[in-house]
Amino acid sequence: MRALLWPDASEQEHLAELEEGQSSFGQSQFPVVTLVSEDQRGSLSGFLEVGLRSHADGCDTRRPVGFVEGWFVREEHRGKGVGRELMCAAEEWARAHGCREMASDALIDNPGSERAHTALGFEIVDRCIHFRKAL
């Protein structure tokens, strides 16, 4: 599912990122966890990666914020409340880590994600263009 959401990364990169996230508790980095949903047969139907960030656009800069790093539900399971349940679990996780705000982002050409976020109570705080330059 990670590969479907982020097709540019290799399988090795996905595995390395998952291991990194799971071992980050208690270290200097902020923790990241992967929440998953299962269908009635016990197969994975979706996932949400949530972590803490020291700050996020539009949020109170004085405290860490829960950040949605990745959110995906398999196509055949969409529109049935799975994404909402994953988001609720992520918000609980963030609250339990002392957060009072949740943040996320989406590509500008992903209107479905924008609508899903706004349906779940997120407000748009900014629209960005990201630049890079080799040094």
Ligand X SMILES: CC(C)(COP(=O)(O)OP(=O)(O)OC[C@H]1O[C@@H](n2cnc3c(N)ncnc32)[C@H](O)[C@@H]1OP(=O)(O)O)[C@@H](O)C(=O)NCCC(=O)NCCS
Residue number with the smallest Cβ distance to ligand X: 83
Q: Are strands 32-38 and 102-103 parallel, antiparallel or unpaired?
A: unpaired
Nearby residues of 128 by Cβ (< 8 Å), 6 or more positions away: 57
The answer to whether 60 and 104 have CB atoms below 8 angstroms apart is no
Confirm or reject binding of residue 15 to ligand X (CB under 6 A).
Answer: no
Nearby residues of 45 by Cβ (< 8 Å), 6 or more positions away: 37, 38, 39, 73, 74, 77, 82
Which residue do the tokens 């399971």 mark? 77
Confirm or reject binding of residue 9 to ligand X (CB under 6 A).
Answer: no
Q: Which of 17, 83, 90, 103 binds ligand X (CB under 6 A)?
A: 83
Q: Read off φ and ψ for residue 82, nearest 5 degrees.
A: -65, -45
Confirm or reject binding of residue 66 to ligand X (CB under 6 A).
Answer: no
Site string for ligand X, 105-134 (x = CB under 6 A): -x---x-xx-xx--xx--------------
Q: Which of 13, 15, 79, 98 binds ligand X (CB under 6 A)?
A: 79
- Residues forming contacts to ligand X in the complex (CB under 6 A) are 5, 71-73, 78-84, 106, 110, 112-113, 115-116, 119-120
